[in-house]
Amino acid sequence: MNPLMSNLPPAVLSWMDPFGFGRAGLEYWRDGLERSILYLDVMRQRGNQYLEHIEKTKPNVLGFDAEVLLDGRELPRPVNYELMRILPPEGVETDPLMRPFVVVDPRAGHGPGIGGFKPDSELGVALRAGHPCYFIGFLPYPEPGQTVEDVVEAEVTFLRQVISLHPDTAEKPMVVGNCQAGWQIMMAAALEPDVFGPILIAGAPLSYWAGERGQAPMRYTGGMTGGSWVTSLLSDLGAGLFDGAWLVQNFERLNPANTWWSKQYHLYSRVDTEAERYLDFERWWGGHVVLGGQEIQYIVDNLFVGNRLSTAQMVTADGRRIDLRNLRSPVVVFCSRGDDITPPPQALGWIQDLYEDTDELIANGQTIVYCVHDTTGHLGIFVSGSVSRKEHTEFTANMDYIDVLPPGLYETAISRAEDRPDAELIERDYLLEFQPRSIEELDREVHHRPDDERRFAAVARVSEINQGLYRQFLQPWVQAWATPDSARWMRRMHPNRLGYRLLSDRNPLMVPVPVLAERVREDRQAVGEDNVFRALEGVLSSQITQGLEAWRELRDRSLERLFLDVYGQPLLQVLVGLGGNAPVRRHPGAEPEQRRFVQQRREAIRARVAEGGSHEAVMRSVIYVLGGAPATDGRNFKRLRASRAELEPTARLADFKHLVREQFFILEQDREAALEAIPRLVAGESAEAIDGHLGHIEHVLAASGELSERAAQRFERIRALFASARPATPPRSTPGEAPATSGKPGESGETKAAEPPKASETVSAAKREARRQGPRQSATRRRKPPRSKD
């Protein structure tokens, strides 16, 4: 309450201000003034923090201690990247024998460290799971002459270094790429697939032409600026360097309500409690870095405008084609419908760009898993603590299972364990399930439109024309005028950078702010949320936000309509060489070499239908019963792997994964022939051993609960196939009586083999047993016939 009014008797106050509006107004006025001073002081701290951060030689926002293992500036082709080992925090232990975990940071205008920004981050999750962790970060300025291909080669070198540090670990590193780093590591994996384990790309755009109308405004930017010549202009004005603040500005323009009002008002309205969180985030958001002119031009021409990565059209300087079909590691794609920077179509469209159907994907031996979040934004995909505790924790915990998934396309769903009827069988708080999908089903997320693809192809042609005109007539003049000093001043005067400097201690007008803020904190009198004027403030803020949102929607719709009208003109398309109804680009899978490769692979798989022994028979049976994969989640996989480890202690996980994939391929190519070959795989084994194989299968199937009706029917067929391989039991004979040698079973003394119980009974019994004990010893013994090379 105002000090002048606090001394008056309550009766006088009631007579002077019967409804309390005057008192509420005075209290709100003081609170608003105090909040304004405190808000300005936070802005001052933000400016000081920005200047201190950018003046460091190696600015970083990593929340973990790290040591540099390999400096990219010392490589034969120097780059401004470095490999760091993450040191576990106190109380956390890592196992050097576990799979290494590598996070590659995105270099898209902001500084490094976002992948390990919080304890609940991708690195934090992996550390708590016991994985040795590494981080690939970068420095603010590129090395002279540095190219994207140099960076890709450096990342391959870093991964080889990680592998060399873990010689006793059979598994290749799991690699995580956020945003821009996602497509970068996909390029590296396409060129050197042997150094990659499972790959997780979070919020990474690989198919820039893809998008749902009304939901992806950023993809129209290249068309509305006439192509990539603007990038060349900004790089030339920067004396060969491109300011990352331009990229950050593009991100901010996507959501003007948040940029211009909501983010700042959220701080102002809660300035007593939000200052620390706001400053932590701004330390990364405002840490702008610089890219080389060659790098950004390569990115814009080949990815943003040309969309060449997802269609295998990119070729390195030494003649190697960058074809994402070369990947041999499972790829996990994590995206969100709430992400307006990398919407699901851009994160998933590359799959449709490369593969015409699911059979082609499977024949190529590729496993792709995707997860689509409903609400989180772009940064939330790899920064949000709730996402890390849920999605990233499950991805990390199930990575070995993902690594053994048969080739195909899968969608994940995460459910809370306590909400499931089989909660007692689930080890963690959540269960990650996998559902097979087809390329056609994927279109529900991608929304492919051939007419839009033709428009973006026209943009690519227009961009090449404008780029040629700029280089011929304007570039020599711009490069002659630009100097390193002018480029440095242009970066300093960028609006995104200037705002930080003007509100720092280097501005003399900010001198009284810290003094006033300290006085306010000594006698802070905040009003409650029940203050009528504070409530009206919230209403006004909501109206401003809604107004800016309405303006954004109008702007985006107008921009989209203009783009579609301009680049959809038949005359323009004809002028740039896209006339007629012919497809704008050839599908990569239509190449004769690729079709020949697929056909040869199928023939080789068919030739191995009857090769193998009991392990092949058991694995083939499990995959068949469960409908194409070892399970819809990782529980069956863990039990099967543990059981095999008991039977063959020296068996490597890589051999187990090869067995799963091979048997899946065999079933996929000729299911009936593969099933009919099962009795031959176990032929010659005793009845006890065959019963042990069936018990082993039952025990594995019980891990995820009761079988469905369809799965139970399939298991009945497997039982019959194994039963047909059982050797006949010789009939018993009494002394002095000749043994029976003919007649029907049961009529001439031949003892019929005992009929095993039905599938539903055996699986239920195994399920009850599984709750009491771990994986049991099976009578299965592996025969080792010669295996033909793949």
Residue bearing the bigger pLDDT, 501 or 424: 501
Burial of 585 (0-12, 13-18, 19+ CB in 10 A): middle
Whether 406 has a pLDDT exceeding 70, the answer reads yes
pLDDT of residue 59: 83
State the average pLDDT over residues 742-764. Answer: 43
Distance CA 140, CA 57 (A): 8
pLDDT of residue 269: 95
- Under 8 Å between Cβ of 715 and 701: yes
Question: Is this structure's pTM higher than 0.75?
Answer: yes
- Under 8 Å between Cβ of 304 and 223: no
Give the residue from 289, 347, 286, 219 showing the smallest Cα distance to 43. 286
| Residue positions counted in the chain | 790
| Model confidence band, residue 630 (pLDDT cutoffs 50, 70, 90) | very low
In sequence order, the 6+-apart residues with CB closer than 8 A to the CB of 601 are 363, 365
Q: Which residues of 204-213 are buried (b: 16+ CB within 10 A; e: fewer)?
A: bbbbbbbbee
First to last CA, the chain: 82
Give the residue from 183, 287, 297 showing the smallest Cα distance to 241. 297
State the average pLDDT over residues 676-697. Answer: 88
- Under 8 Å between Cβ of 181 and 203: no
Distance CA 767, CA 705 (A): 7
Q: Which helix (H) or strand (E) holds 683?
A: none
pLDDT of residue 567: 96
Question: Phi and psi (nearest 5°) for 101?
Answer: -125, 120
Distance CA 80, CA 103 (A): 16
Distance CA 358, CA 366 (A): 10
- Under 8 Å between Cβ of 42 and 268: no
In sequence order, the 6+-apart residues with CB closer than 8 A to the CB of 565 are none
pLDDT of residue 777: 38
Give tens-digit pLDDT for 700-748. Answer: 777 766 777 888 888 899 999 998 888 876 555 545 444 444 443 444 3
pLDDT of residue 742: 41
- Under 8 Å between Cβ of 703 and 401: no
User: The domain 66-209+307-448 is classified under which CATH number: 3.30.1540.10, 1.10.150.120, 1.10.10.10, 3.40.50.1820?
Assistant: 3.40.50.1820
Q: What is the DSSP string of 438-457?
A: -HHHHHHHH---HHHHHHHH
In sequence order, the 6+-apart residues with CB closer than 8 A to the CB of 644 are 615, 651, 656
pLDDT of residue 671: 86
Distance CA 92, CA 128 (A): 6
In order of 119, 203, 245, 294, 398, the CA distances from 287 in angstroms are 20, 20, 9, 22, 34
Distance CA 204, CA 346 (A): 8
State the average pLDDT over residues 498-524. Answer: 95
State the average pLDDT over residues 253-272. Answer: 95
Distance CA 62, CA 755 (A): 63
Poorest-pLDDT segment among 169-178, 606-615, 623-632: 623-632
State the average pLDDT over residues 518-535. Answer: 92
Give tens-digit pLDDT for 322-337. Answer: 999 999 899 999 999 9
Place of tokens 């198919």: 207
Whether 152 has a pLDDT exceeding 80, the answer reads yes
Q: ∠ CA 534-540-546 to the nearest 5 degrees?
A: 140
State the average pLDDT over residues 444-454. Answer: 92
Residue bearing the bigger pLDDT, 263 or 364: 263
Distance CA 694, CA 53 (A): 64
Q: Which two tokens stand for residue 239?
A: 């004396």
State the average pLDDT over residues 392-409. Answer: 85
State the average pLDDT over residues 443-449. Answer: 92
Poorest-pLDDT segment among 131-135, 326-330, 462-466, 754-758: 754-758
pLDDT of residue 763: 45
Distance CA 327, CA 601 (A): 16
pLDDT of residue 286: 84
Distance CA 115, CA 582 (A): 44
| Model confidence band, residue 771 (pLDDT cutoffs 50, 70, 90) | very low
| Half-sphere exposure in the Cβ direction for 33 (13 Å, CA) | 11
Give the residue from 754, 757, 590 showing the smallest Cα distance to 688. 754
Q: Is 20 helix (H, G, I), strand (E, B) or coil?
A: coil
Q: SS in 3 state form for 339-377?
A: CCCCCHHHHHHHHHHHCCCHHHHHHCCCEEEEEEECCCC
pLDDT of residue 186: 97
- Sketch the domain layout of the chain as residue ranges: 66-209+307-448, 594-728+751-772
Give the residue from 120, 104, 281, 128 showing the smallest Cα distance to 202. 104
pLDDT of residue 788: 40
Give tens-digit pLDDT for 662-683. Answer: 888 888 878 888 899 999 998 8
| Half-sphere exposure in the Cβ direction for 746 (13 Å, CA) | 3
pLDDT of residue 566: 96
pLDDT of residue 789: 39
Give tens-digit pLDDT for 111-142. Answer: 888 777 777 788 888 999 999 999 999 999 99
Question: Phi and psi (nearest 5°) for 77?
Answer: -115, 90
Distance CA 334, CA 409 (A): 14
Distance CA 208, CA 343 (A): 10
User: What percent of the chain has pLDDT above 70?
Assistant: 83
- Under 8 Å between Cβ of 154 and 77: yes
- Under 8 Å between Cβ of 241 and 290: yes
Distance CA 446, CA 17 (A): 62
Give tens-digit pLDDT for 639-660. Answer: 666 666 655 666 676 777 778 8
- Under 8 Å between Cβ of 203 and 381: yes
Whether 638 has a pLDDT exceeding 80, the answer reads no
- Under 8 Å between Cβ of 107 and 140: no
Question: Phi and psi (nearest 5°) for 674?
Answer: -65, -40
Dihedral angle of Cα 559, 560, 566, 572, to the nearest 10 degrees: 130
- Under 8 Å between Cβ of 296 and 289: no
| Model confidence band, residue 494 (pLDDT cutoffs 50, 70, 90) | very high
pLDDT of residue 783: 39
Give the residue from 703, 721, 687, 713 showing the smallest Cα distance to 618. 721
Beta bridge partners of 367: 408
